[in-house]
């Protein structure tokens, strides 16, 4: 990581580069990830409707792409901002969303008052949308929590800088979104992660599992106590859905129950934990790089 103009005191040692390889090899990474996951789960309690809408990977990508279009909008350019056509154009390279999916997603956000019509556009059909206040607050808070996780990893001061200059977020978020949407390591999660994150609310369920107190792996398994009924209740999903989700993960040998059949006692495979960490590292590398670029560009 290059020294940022005006961000470090004289003589302070430059923190190490936060690459994917460096992150996964960092012995503190998994513990910091767990703390970050707990913070994301707390956001679910603050913004339950938004959290539910983006707790599947496809919707997460659509949300980030839409917000990038919003931040890149030029009020003097009628062909900029959030529309279904422009959202589809951004998503087309990932193959993760069809025109109907993009259109329905934006309509859902409008219905829930998370997006609203913006001024501009040549016709009513091409009029762009913009985030409402609650959407903007949620996205800014999400970005801040991610910066907090990075600060824990390298002792940085990103959160403090962000509070001083909110424009860092506005410059960085589109960089993060476009980089991740063009990176197959992120758009195509590892098998163990994909079972969860391609399912409704599966992303937050996976975060919940990963946020549990760390324990040592025994024969490639980490044991946790999980109540499926409580997960379903907290994340506003049906018991049937969460049982099917766990059944798919069990069939693939990524999670399982003990031989004694103890209720609520599950094991997570080391592979699931490792692949989750590697996948998250892709995101945090992009976040760290986007932050650095956004600060250097505007010292």
Which tens digit of pLDDT belongs to each residue from 262-275? Answer: 678 899 999 999 99
What pLDDT does residue 216 have? 66
Tokens of residue 60, six digits: 């997460």
If we measure between CA atoms, which residue out of 80, 59, 57 comes closest to residue 68? 80
Helix (H, G, I), strand (E, B) or coil at 266: strand
Return the percent helix, strand and coil in the chain, to nearest 5. 60, 5, 35
User: Taking the complete model, does pTM exceed 0.75, yes or no?
Assistant: yes
What's the CA dihedral at 138, 230, 111, 37 to 10 degrees? 20
Separation CA 94–CA 182 (nearest Å): 7
Task: Kindly report, residue by residue over 58-87, the tens digit of the pLDDT.
Answer: 999 999 999 999 999 998 887 789 999 899
Comparing 41-50, 123-132, 204-213, 227-236, the range with the smallest average pLDDT is 123-132
Helix (H) or strand (E) holding 129: strand 129-131
What pLDDT does residue 121 have? 58
């Amino acid at each position: 990581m290059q020294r940022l103009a005006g961000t470090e005191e004289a003589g302070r040692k430059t923190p190490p580069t936060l690459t994917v390889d460096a992150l996964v090899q960092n012995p503190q990474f998994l513990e910091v990830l767990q703390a970050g996951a707990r913070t994301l789960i707390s956001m679910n309690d603050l913004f339950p409707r938004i959290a539910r809408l983006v707790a599947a990977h496809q919707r997460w990508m659509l949300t980030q792409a839409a917000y990038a279009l919003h931040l890149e909008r030029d009020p003097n350019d009628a062909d900029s901002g959030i529309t279904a056509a422009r959202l589809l154009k951004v998503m087309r390279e990932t193959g993760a969303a069809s025109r109907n999916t993009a259109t329905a997603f934006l309509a859902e956000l409008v219905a829930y008052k998370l997006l609203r019509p913006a001024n501009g556009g040549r016709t009513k059909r091409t009029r762009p949308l913009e985030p409402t206040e609650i959407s903007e607050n949620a996205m800014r808070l999400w970005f801040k929590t991610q910066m907090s996780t990075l600060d824990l990893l390298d002792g940085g001061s990103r959160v403090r800088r962000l509070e001083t200059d909110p424009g860092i977020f506005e410059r960085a978020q589109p960089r993060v979104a476009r980089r991740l949407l063009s990176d197959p390591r992120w758009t195509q999660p590892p098998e163990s992660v994909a079972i969860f994150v391609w399912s409704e609310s599966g992303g937050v369920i996976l975060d919940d599992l990963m946020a549990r107190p760390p324990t040592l792996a025994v024969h490639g398994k980490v044991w946790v106590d999980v109540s499926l009924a409580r997960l379903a209740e907290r994340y506003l999903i049906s018991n049937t859905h969460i049982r099917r989700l766990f059944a798919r993960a069990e069939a693939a040998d990524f999670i399982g129950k003990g031989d004694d059949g103890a209720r609520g006692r599950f094991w997570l495979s080391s592979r699931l934990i490792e692949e989750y960490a590697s996948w998250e590292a892709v995101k945090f590398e992009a976040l760290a790089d986007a932050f650095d670029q956004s600060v250097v560009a505007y010292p």
